[in-house]
Amino acid sequence: MSRANRRSFLRYIRYGWMALSLGILAVPTSPALACDGAQYIRLHTPVQLSAQELAEFRALPPLRVVSVDAPPMTHYSKDQHTYTGISVDVLCFIAKELGLRYELIPGRNHTVGEKIQQVQDGQADIFIPLSRSPERNRHGVFTIPYYESHYAAITRKGRQLPIYSATDLAQYRVGIVGGVSLEPILKEIIPLNQLIIYDKLLTSDALFQALRNDDIDVAVFNKNIFIEKRYKHDLFDLEPTYTLHEYPRAYRFYLSHTPQHQRIAAAFDRYLAAIDSSASIARHENGERQLIERYVAQRSQRVLLQAASVAITLLALIFYLVLRRYRRLARQLADGNQQISQQKRALQQAYQELEKLSQTDSLTGLANRGHFDQTLVRELARRQRRWSPLSLLIIDLDHFKLVNDHYGHAVGDRYLRAIASVLENSVSRPADLAARYGGEEFACLLPDTNAQNARVVADRIRQAVARLDLPNALADRPRLTLCIGIATLMDSTDFSAQELLAQADSQLYAAKHAGRDRIQATVLGKHTRGLTISAQQETMP
């Protein structure tokens, strides 16, 4: 080969490598699962698997995973090309425990129906997240649920339709996306000529547009997803009117129907029955709320910039046409100000709704722990101005774990909502506050309430719960009972929030040790710090 030919040959090789490198760099990044959130999943009890089972799972080929963007269960980040969410945290945790490998199948442009079909046809192994329906159950394998959300009846803002239960929907034209788990239930409640089912292959935009066009009176849709869509797609003229708590939407893992996948689903069920995903749920629900807050703030800035642009334009026109078009421009300016005011009111209402969401427990509707702690600190500071009495009640349900073990978590959640209703009716003054403090524990703050009146409120709560007659078959007493610990601050005693909570908690544990289903109280005066409290305690069985 001549020298010139060798140079040409080397040049072709160099250009070929450059082209290949550019081609590799141009390949789009495939989406993946971000598993850093698996650290927020914990086990209540250990799950025992045989060495043979673990060896079998580790020998399996990678599971082919398909997913959708459905916060807070799964959320796709366009910047990171990753999926995060409660479903991802749970899947990563269990897969690591079992030694399972997995890979995410690309297909962001596929619809939910197409991805379900992939699993049913064996082109994919597992779908996250999905709610169960009879049709899906016939063609695949579901695990037990790991997260619950609720559907909501959504109407045009200001319609004020009297909807107080799912049966009230029968008097309206109702729209729903086809194929959802609630569809068979609505077909039993609503006359078929009033139930409009929209193609599941389309997006939910058609459903909400029909509601805006008055083609339907009510749209039934997942409440959490609608709240996100409301801010992202400017659906401020629509609002949730009623939450269908009686039909919770349980999300599960969905696998193709093979003996191998049935064994995987059975292993998943054992872990799902033993995990505590509350930290993951709080992390992702708060994360979605923060995203919405940032979006609202950005939207507010855009509105203000638009308003400023309109104002500058109007001022320029006023200077140019001040003599000839004064009245016309003044009217346009007034219209512009009215529009800005309407937009500001809409944003203020959105902020108020977000603030309420951040202070409320999603299951019971009571205040959450963060809001309660802030209120307690504020009341202790206010009390120092005139040293009025202040009572704190800590309430814990007796043997509540037995309810979940025997009846299931759905019944346990129903019990918690029933207890919350009792507290709302029993603690009703404007200054009082009832909250879910965590798990089966509740708290009540009673400003300007002495020890005697606090005990009256506590006994009213205990008797109201007894009247509910909620079964608890595995407990010593076959009905649900509770214990209440009361701590009351009197005269000029200065206790911190932590000290007052500790005193009430101490009374609660004393009630537990005394036999449960009772009230234990203590009065904290200026002579009690460092002294024995038992002389001031009173027990009410």
Binned at pLDDT 50, 70 and 90, residue 61 comes out as very high
pTM: 0.45
Instruction: Name residue 150's beta-bridge partners.
Output: 248
What pLDDT shows up at residue 28? 40
Instruction: Name residue 104's beta-bridge partners.
Output: 65
What pLDDT shows up at residue 79? 85
Is the pLDDT score of 327 beyond 60?
yes
- What is d(CA 286, CA 438) in angstroms, rounded to the nearest whole number? 16
Binned at pLDDT 50, 70 and 90, residue 30 comes out as low
Please give the average per-residue pLDDT across 68-80, as a whole number.
Answer: 85
- What is d(CA 300, CA 311) in angstroms, rounded to the nearest whole number? 16
CB burial of residue 184 (10 Å; 0-12, 13-18, 19+): exposed
Residues 84-138 pLDDT 10s: 999 999 999 999 999 999 999 887 788 888 899 999 999 999 999 998 888 899 9
Please give the average per-residue pLDDT across 414-419, as a whole number.
Answer: 96
196 within 8 A of 150, measured Cβ to Cβ: no
What pLDDT shows up at residue 433? 96
Concatenated DSSP letters for 440-491? TEEEEEEET--HHHHHHHHHHHHHHHHHH--B-TTSSSSB--EEEEEEEE-T
81 within 8 A of 30, measured Cβ to Cβ: yes
Residues 343-353 pLDDT 10s: 777 667 766 66
What pLDDT shows up at residue 355? 62
Is the pLDDT score of 2 beyond 70?
no
